[in-house]
Amino acid sequence: MSTTTPTVSGLPTLRWLNDLAGDASFADGALTMRATEKTDWFNPPPVANAPAGLANAPALVFSPPGGDWTYSAKVSLQHQYLFDAGTLFVHQGADDWCKLCFEFSPEKTPTVVSVVTRSISDDCNGATIQGDAVHLRISRCGPVIAFHYSIDGGAYWTLHRLFSMRNPDADMSIGFLAQAPTGASCTAVFSDISLSATGVQDFRNGK
């Protein structure tokens, strides 16, 4: 297990969120993260049979550009256990964060899943994905955050979710995590990583 903080080409300096170091390495243009068991970020609603409340999946994050920004990555993993995921993450605090995931659903299919947390996590399952990889993208444009995914390598981006955080002007950290809330472990690989200081102006045109 490597708990060093890797350097990723094209990104600002990375750090482990809340000094909670995990297992990560960067080589040949790909960031590999390995989650251990019972790790996740989720603030469950107060109902029976809700998933466990966890905020312990180590996240590699960085400070985004001021103003608008867009970052994306190809997320690859071999799903084994329920809710295994590789995730793009936006963090403002323990009760204010969001994530866009390539996750193993209860239907046992790789799925685009998002969670927006404003005290309680708002969980949303989206498209099912054929294969073991998908491109994910998060962008900020003013007070708005957009989640997109692509199944053709980024030629066309499909809108998954559009929303605002409770305080859009609060400091943000953005980055990556792997999660394994129910299984023994999960390894996610992030490649084709891109960051730009521009937002997406038209959220529904596929660009």
Gap between the Cα atoms of 85 and 79, Å rounded: 8
Check whether 70 has a pLDDT greater than 80: yes
pLDDT band at 2 (very low <50, low <70, confident <90, very high): low
Gap between the Cα atoms of 34 and 47, Å rounded: 30
- Flag the least confident range among 4-8, 92-96, 143-147, 189-193: 4-8
| Each residue's pLDDT tens digit, 95-110 | 999 999 999 999 999 9
Architecture label for domain 15-196: Sandwich (2.60)
CB 181 within 8 A of CB 40: yes
pLDDT band at 48 (very low <50, low <70, confident <90, very high): confident
Q: What is the pLDDT of residue 3?
A: 64
